[in-house]
Amino acid sequence: MRGKGLKGAVGTGASYAELLAGTGVTVDALEARVMAALDLPAFPVATQTYPRKQDWLVLNALAGLAGSLYKLAFDLRVLQSLPFGEWAEPFGHAQVGSSTMPFKRNPIGAENIDSLGRMVAALPRVAWDNAAHALLERTLDDKANRRALLPQAFLAADEMLSVAVRLVRGLQVNTRAIADNLARYGAFAATERLLMALGRAGADRQHMHEVIRRQSMAAWAALENGHASPLRDALTRDPEINRYLDAGAVSALLDVENYLGHAPQRARAFAQTIHAALPMRAAQQGA
């Protein structure tokens, strides 16, 4: 963040030079002294106003923050809805989810985040116009909208952060729903693992891809008709697959709970990185 500094009406500093004549103080020295007191560096060149592109950069930063929070809230809303039901935002004992349907538990916090996020996302466009339309930097047609534009962006982003912190701290994770979804759909994801194992066992990869595809499509149709997924049993007993892998090996490969790759280590390392950064951030804010 920078300020205009002491540049005078059109940026030449001529009036300050006139006032300081004979004092031994230069315009640059006076500007440096004043801006140091404000703890705000000055733009090296400016005319009547500081470059309005700074507003656009600031609002883009806030819009970027809003985009991340928006996605978190949007994903939460999807995972709270049926048939997922895996996540849920905190819900008070006497909280009302809907004024008409008493049974509902609408994710109102996440909805509010997304509502504000859309507004913040639109604000950089106004700042872009202010910067691009600053005709010879003499026009003041940005003055009125900036009085609302900047405060609204900061206030909305602050509210989004506050609500997001509350949602994350009180996030409810339904492990039973996760287990049910894994049981229903997990084998489909684990077919990738089976296909790689078949290739290592000497099978033609493209042919095995077609075998698994046919079985997967049939299993998906069964799910859509309200039946349990037959995919694991079908692949375990498939004679073309059993030429290369026995039923026990196939069944073990389709256990998606063990198909995690490097995810647990990455998650723990990332959590440790965040945890280590918290004392540093707190110290910076205290300073």
- Residue 117 to residue 152: CA distance in whole angstroms: 12
Closest CA relative to residue 116, chosen from 163, 82, 79, 75: 163
Backbone angles phi, psi at 185, to 5 degrees: -120, -10
d(CA 178, CA 84): 8
Each residue's pLDDT expressed in tens, for the chain with a length of 287 residues: 999 999 988 889 999 999 999 999 999 999 999 999 999 999 999 988 889 999 999 999 999 999 999 999 999 999 999 888 999 999 866 566 566 666 567 889 999 999 999 999 999 999 999 999 988 877 888 989 999 999 999 999 999 999 999 999 999 999 999 999 988 999 999 999 999 999 999 999 999 999 999 999 999 999 999 999 999 999 999 999 999 999 999 999 999 888 888 999 999 999 999 999 887 766 766 65
Pair of tokens at residue 17: 């030079």
Class for the domain spanning 53-92+102-173: mainly alpha
Round to whole Å and give the CA distance between 70 and 222. Answer: 35
Please give the pLDDT value at position 280.
Answer: 72
CATH of domain 176-258: 1.10.40.30
Q: How many Å apart are CA 182 and CA 12, to the nearest integer?
A: 69
Q: Which pLDDT score, from 0 to 100, does residue 102 have? A: 60
Domain residue spans of the chain: 1-49, 53-92+102-173, 176-258
Cα gap 254→123, rounded to integer Å: 48
Cβ–Cβ under 8 Å, residues 89 and 70: no
* pLDDT score of 92: 67
| Rg, Å, the chain Cα set | 30
pTM of the predicted model as reported, rounded to 2 decimal places:
0.81
Give which of 183, 181, 207 is closest to 195, Cα–Cα.
207
